[in-house]
């Protein structure tokens, strides 16, 4: 079996729709375990976050030219919360997403490594996780 090529790079502007598609597909699993109203709010929040231009750098992973995943990287001291909170002095990542068809291929690990390289030498790097359920696995 031929090894497929995984490439991690900065997203291009014309990939916005593909990033939205992959991110929503990755988070769709929550629709089955949350109420319809909760999922609709969560989905709206995802789309809002993805639309916040200039606040983050979007990093994508592709396998053989197909969008496999993405992550949003926020540099330290970015006003992430629109002035509601003081900007944090650390980098933050959000919406780590891997297309269901590309899970278990090292995509998430490659995206996280790319984020880590961006903050090489920083004192603090914050990881926040979303759980599938209260007793579920961490994603």
For 82-130, what is each residue's pLDDT tens digit?
Answer: 778 888 888 888 999 999 999 999 999 999 999 989 887 666 555 555 5
Arithmetic mean of pLDDT over the chain: 86
pLDDT computed for residue 26 by the predictor = 96
CA 92 to each of CA 44, 73, 78, 98, 114: distance values in angstroms, whole numbers, following the listed order? 21, 6, 9, 18, 13
Of residues 81 and 37, the one with the higher pLDDT is 37
Q: How many residues does the chain have?
A: 139
**DSSP 8-state secondary structure symbol assigned to residue 3:** P
pLDDT computed for residue 137 by the predictor = 44
pLDDT computed for residue 104 by the predictor = 94
**DSSP 8-state secondary structure symbol assigned to residue 138:** B
pLDDT computed for residue 134 by the predictor = 41
Instruction: Flag whether the pTM goes above 0.85.
Output: no
CA 107 to each of CA 7, 12, 28, 92: distance values in angstroms, whole numbers, following the listed order? 9, 18, 18, 18
Contacts with 37 (C-beta within 8 Å, 6 or more apart), sequence order: none
pLDDT computed for residue 52 by the predictor = 84
- For the chain, the structural domain boundaries read 6-126
CATH fit for domain 6-126, picks 3.40.630.30, 3.30.499.10, 3.40.50.300, 3.40.1010.10? 3.40.630.30
Specify the pairing of strand 125-126 against strand 91-98: parallel
């Amino acid at each position: 079996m031929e090894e497929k090529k995984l490439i991690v790079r900065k997203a291009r502007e014309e990939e916005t729709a593909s990033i939205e598609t992959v991110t929503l597909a990755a988070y769709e699993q929550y629709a089955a375990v949350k109420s319809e109203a909760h999922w609709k709010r969560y989905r709206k929040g995802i789309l809002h976050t993805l639309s916040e231009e200039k606040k983050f750098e979007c990093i994508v992973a592709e396998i053989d030219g197909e969008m496999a995943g993405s992550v949003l990287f926020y540099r330290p001291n970015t006003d992430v919360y629109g002035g509601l909170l003081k900007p944090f002095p650390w980098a933050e990542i959000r919406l780590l997403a891997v297309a269901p068809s590309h899970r278990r291929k090292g995509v998430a690990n490659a995206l996280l490594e790319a984020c880590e390289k961006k903050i090489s030498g920083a004192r603090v790097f914050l990881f926040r996780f979303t759980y599938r359920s209260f007793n579920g696995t961490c994603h």
